[in-house]
Amino acid sequence: MQVTSPRRAPGGFPVVGIIGGGQLARMCQPPAVNLSLTLNVLSEGPDAAAALVVPSAPVGSHLEIDDVLAFAKECDVVTFDHEHVPADVLQALVATGVPVHPKPEALRFAQDKVAMRERLTALGLPCPAWATVHDEAELAAFGDLHGWPVVLKTPRGGYDGKGVRVIDAAPEAADWFARGGALLAEECVPFSRELAVLVARSPSGQAAVWPIVQTVQTDGICTEVLAPAPGLDPSLAADASQTALRLAGELDITGVFAVEIFEIPGTDGSAPSYVVNELAMRPHNSGHWTIDGSVTSQFEQHLRAVLDLPLGDVGPRATWTVMGNVLGGDYDQLYPAYRHLLARDPGLKIHLYGKGVRPGRKIGHVNVYGDDLEDLRARARHAADYLEGTVTE
């Protein structure tokens, strides 16, 4: 692997290393420019989303200890674009003495859904009923106790709903059990909507939590985020925010992280409640609205947090911000679509990731903010659809 020392700005400014060259690393670059920080990204390839825009992006693998150590030598702090760095590589990285955020002990709870469920349960935080299951008989026993269908998950490696199945009867999971290893069985939560709590915490313990958002999923992929979540019960909001802050402290999480939760409607006039679905320890799709809708974006905040700088204001810039994800269509002419969209909606903010278009792939997002939620939703939806090629005017 070819590694050169990244050039740093005069004045003692640090180099922030990010393992992984995806869109999250890419979106750290604008705030890095403004803060005079130099980003150094360990990139999957020369054309990765971040490699196209950061000043230093050596190509190497997050699975190879030698690549990660050679890369880390040139960084003052190391953080992540994704959660897939294996434990042995993380251990070797920490042993070099370079600060790593979040630390492997915390990251484990975002990498392994069983470890996460065990820890949350030990902390007394609200979770769906769950168990590890090793075969059809154990799954059947779980389903008979907690009701069918059951949500079955692979403990590691899932994203965008891959690694999650709704099972109506145990034999349906035969193929997963044939692969061996434990699976996570969860009660199918009768939620009314999905919410996310985004938090930043620095190594010295300062923490900040953004307003809770609603995430709207289509076929297991988040397509829209409403900030703040409309009509959210204030005591649920306060409780869920407290839970996220408590988790940050108990798990010693550093950097930006998200707690995904399910809102459960109250019955017979009682207040709604919630359970925690999962944790993501990095800037998160549910926080992309903050680039335009919050005084401090999650990407700026993440850089501040991992450097142990004071955190920024997480207040909203407008009553509402709506984020629409742009999923790849089946054409490759994105640039011409700009002219039309920019003319049609001067308040629209487009963020693309420099990725090639493939069906279903997240290639960018749009943000709009203002006072009229339904108008904002319609504008965000139209822009995303237009960039996806599903509407033509």
Q: Return the SS3 of 129.
A: coil
Of the candidates 10, 36, 17, 29, the residue with the CA atom closest to the CA atom of residue 74: 17
Strands (E) in 70-192, as ranges, are 77-80, 130-133, 150-153, 164-167, 183-187
Contact flags string 131-160 toward ligand ADP, x per CB under 6 A: --------------------x-x----xxx
Among residues 150 and 200, whose Cβ is nearest to ligand ADP?
150
Q: Whole-number minimum distance, CB 369 to ligand ADP, in Å?
A: 25
Q: Whole-number minimum distance, CB 7 to ligand ADP, in Å?
A: 38
Q: Whole-number minimum distance, CB 149 to ligand ADP, in Å?
A: 9
Among residues 49 and 116, whose Cβ is nearest to ligand ADP?
116
Provide the residue count of the chain.
393
- C-alpha neighbours within 13 Å on the C-beta side of residue 160: 11
**Residue selected from 35, 164, 309, 348 as contacting ligand ADP according to rule CB under 6 A:** 164
Q: Whole-number minimum distance, CB 41 to ligand ADP, in Å?
A: 24
Q: Whole-number minimum distance, CB 381 to ligand ADP, in Å?
A: 20
Strands (E) in 189-249, as ranges, are 193-201, 207-209, 213-218, 221-227
Query: Residues 209-225, buried b or exposed e (16+ Cβ, 10 A)?
Result: bbbbbbbbeeeebbbbb
8 Å CB contact between 256 and 301? yes
Among residues 57 and 258, whose Cβ is nearest to ligand ADP?
258
333/219 Cα distance (integer angstroms):
25
277/194 Cα distance (integer angstroms):
9
**Residue selected from 163, 272, 354, 370 as contacting ligand ADP according to rule CB under 6 A:** 163
Chain residues 186-225 in contact with ligand ADP, contact rule CB under 6 A: 186, 188-189, 194, 217, 220
| Cis, peptide link before residue 102, omega less than 30° from 0 | yes
**Residue 161 lies near ligand ADP (rule: CB under 6 A):** yes
**Residue selected from 56, 202, 243, 277 as contacting ligand ADP according to rule CB under 6 A:** 277
Among residues 78 and 167, whose Cβ is nearest to ligand ADP?
167
Q: Whole-number minimum distance, CB 173 to ligand ADP, in Å?
A: 15
Query: What contacts 24+ positions apart, CB below 8 Å, involve 58-64?
Result: 58/1, 58/2, 58/3, 58/4, 59/1, 59/2, 60/1, 60/3, 62/19, 62/20, 62/89, 63/89, 64/89
**Residue selected from 20, 102, 128, 328 as contacting ligand ADP according to rule CB under 6 A:** 128
Q: Whole-number minimum distance, CB 220 to ligand ADP, in Å?
A: 5
Q: Which stretch binds ligand ADP (CB under 6 A): 1-9, 182-190, 263-271, 318-326?
A: 182-190
Q: Whole-number minimum distance, CB 350 to ligand ADP, in Å?
A: 25
Q: Which stretch binds ligand ADP (CB under 6 A): 140-148, 185-193, 305-313, 324-332?
A: 185-193
8 Å CB contact between 80 and 99? no
Q: Which residues contact 359 (CB under 8 A, 6 or more apart)?
A: 327, 328, 329, 330
Q: Which stretch binds ligand ADP (CB under 6 A): 7-15, 52-60, 184-192, 198-206?
A: 184-192
Among residues 3 and 261, whose Cβ is nearest to ligand ADP?
261
Q: Return the SS3 of 251.
A: coil
Q: Return the SS3 of 268.
A: coil
Q: Which residues bind ligand ADP (CB under 6 A)?
A: 128, 151, 153, 158-164, 186, 188-189, 194, 217, 220, 260, 277-278
